[in-house]
């Protein structure tokens, strides 16, 4: 059975550029502005921004700033990362492991391969460990039973082995080539 490959992304873009405060929480909370490398502005609650260890330390170093530039991060993965962190904050307030697990699983299953791959450097740069764990597991799950060719195309890696070298590696690990899914 082949699983979803690079299908067009189905995720909503609603979180992007949404300066409106959360209507459920009436009391005004401190907002922090994040600026992506493609100059998109994200206003997020302080509690969400503090989930990003990188942003947190930025503020600790220079508390007076109100806009944090994120030169390595583009808007789309950032919006998805924010979406994830918002949910995690809710789980922090109301711990429910089962729900959290379910949300995390849904969060990654609905993402395209590209979305997942795009988010990994962002999660790594912003040092969001929980998200990185979830993403790493999701990518591992997607390539786990796939062929070498599939994994190469998943990451866009060029094969730099000669035919002989590759054949030798395959022989050496013949046991690993049994029961591989179709791409």
Partner 1 sequence: MSGQRESSAAGKAIAGCQDLMQGIFSRLPPQSMARCKSVSKQWLSWLSSKYFLTQKQAKNLTLAGFYYNSTYNTYQGCCLVPPLPTLLPQDDRHGTRRGILAPLNSSNGLVLLYNSYLGKGNSSFIVYDPSHADYITLPIAPSLVEKPDASLRIKRFLVYGFAFDPHSINPNFTVAELSDDGGSIRVNIYSSITSTWTTGNYPAIEPVDSFMLSGPSVFFRGALHWLLEPSGVISYTIRNKKLHEFTSVPGDLAYVDDEGYCNCVRKMMDSGRDGYSQCKCTCRYLGESMDHLIYVRATGDAEFSVWTLDDYYRRVWSPRHCIVINNLPADSLFYGKFLAFERKDINVIFFRLQRQIFSYNQIKAELKEICSIQKEYGDDDICSGFILPYEVSTIPPPSGMPRRKAATGIAVEKPRNTYASVNRPENTRILVYCHEGNAELARAITLTHQPEFTWIPAYNFQRPFQRYFSVTSTDDHHMHLASSAYNDSVRAEASVYGFLGGRKLSPKFMKRYSCSLNFHMAKMNSSRNILQSDGALWP
Q: How far apart are the first and last CA of the chain?
A: 8
Pick the piece of the chain touching partner 1 (CB under 8 A) from 18-26, 54-62, 102-110, 171-179.
171-179
Closest residue by Cα to residue 33 from 47, 21, 48, 43: 43
- Considering only residues 48, 118, 128, 131, which one is a binding residue for partner 1 as defined by CB under 8 A? 118
Q: Does the footprint of partner 1 cover residue 13 (CB under 8 A)?
A: no
Q: Does the footprint of partner 1 cover residue 170 (CB under 8 A)?
A: yes
Minimum separation from the CB atom of position 170 to partner 1 (A): 6
Minimum separation from the CB atom of position 113 to partner 1 (A): 6
Strand positions, DSSP E, the chain: 31-35, 41-45, 67-69
Q: Does the footprint of partner 1 cover residue 50 (CB under 8 A)?
A: no
> Could you give the CA distance from residue 183 to residue 78 in angstroms, rounded to a whole number?
30
Q: Does the footprint of partner 1 cover residue 132 (CB under 8 A)?
A: yes
Residues paired with 43 in a beta bridge: 33
> Cβ(99)–Cβ(63) under 8 Å?
no
Pick the piece of the chain touching partner 1 (CB under 8 A) from 28-36, 42-50, 97-105, 119-127.
119-127
Pick the piece of the chain touching partner 1 (CB under 8 A) from 44-52, 79-87, 97-105, 116-124.
116-124
Q: Specify the residue, 90 or 152, whose C-beta has the smaller distance to partner 1.
A: 152
Q: Does the footprint of partner 1 cover residue 124 (CB under 8 A)?
A: yes
Q: Measure Cα distances from 57 to 20, 51, 127 in Å.
A: 26, 11, 11
- Considering only residues 31, 35, 56, 114, which one is a binding residue for partner 1 as defined by CB under 8 A? 114
Q: Is 82 helix (H, G, I), strand (E, B) or coil?
A: helix
Buried b (16+ CB within 10 A) or exposed e, 51-71: bbebbeebbeeeeeeeebebe
**Which residues form the interface with partner 1 (CB under 8 A)?**
6, 8, 113-114, 117-118, 120-121, 124, 132-133, 136-137, 139-140, 143-148, 151-161, 166, 168-180
């Amino acid at each position: 059975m082949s699983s979803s490959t690079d299908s067009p992304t189905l995720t909503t873009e609603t979180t992007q550029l949404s300066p409106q405060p959360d209507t459920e929480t009436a009391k005004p909370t401190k907002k922090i502005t994040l600026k992506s490398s493609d100059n998109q502005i994200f206003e997020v609650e302080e509690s969400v921004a503090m989930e990003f260890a990188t942003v947190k330390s930025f503020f600790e170093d220079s508390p007076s700033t109100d806009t944090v530039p994120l030169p390595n991060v583009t808007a789309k993965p950032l919006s998805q990362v924010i979406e994830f962190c918002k949910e995690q904050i809710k789980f922090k307030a109301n711990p429910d492991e089962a729900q959290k697990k379910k949300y995390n699983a849904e969060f990654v299953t609905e993402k395209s391969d590209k979305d997942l791959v795009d988010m990994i450097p962002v999660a790594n740069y912003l040092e969001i460990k929980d998200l990185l764990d979830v993403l790493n597991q999701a990518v591992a799950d997607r390539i786990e039973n796939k062929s070498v060719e599939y994994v190469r195309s998943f990451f866009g890696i060029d094969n730099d082995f000669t035919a002989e070298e590759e054949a030798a590696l395959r022989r050496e690990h013949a046991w690993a080539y049994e029961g591989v899914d179709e791409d």
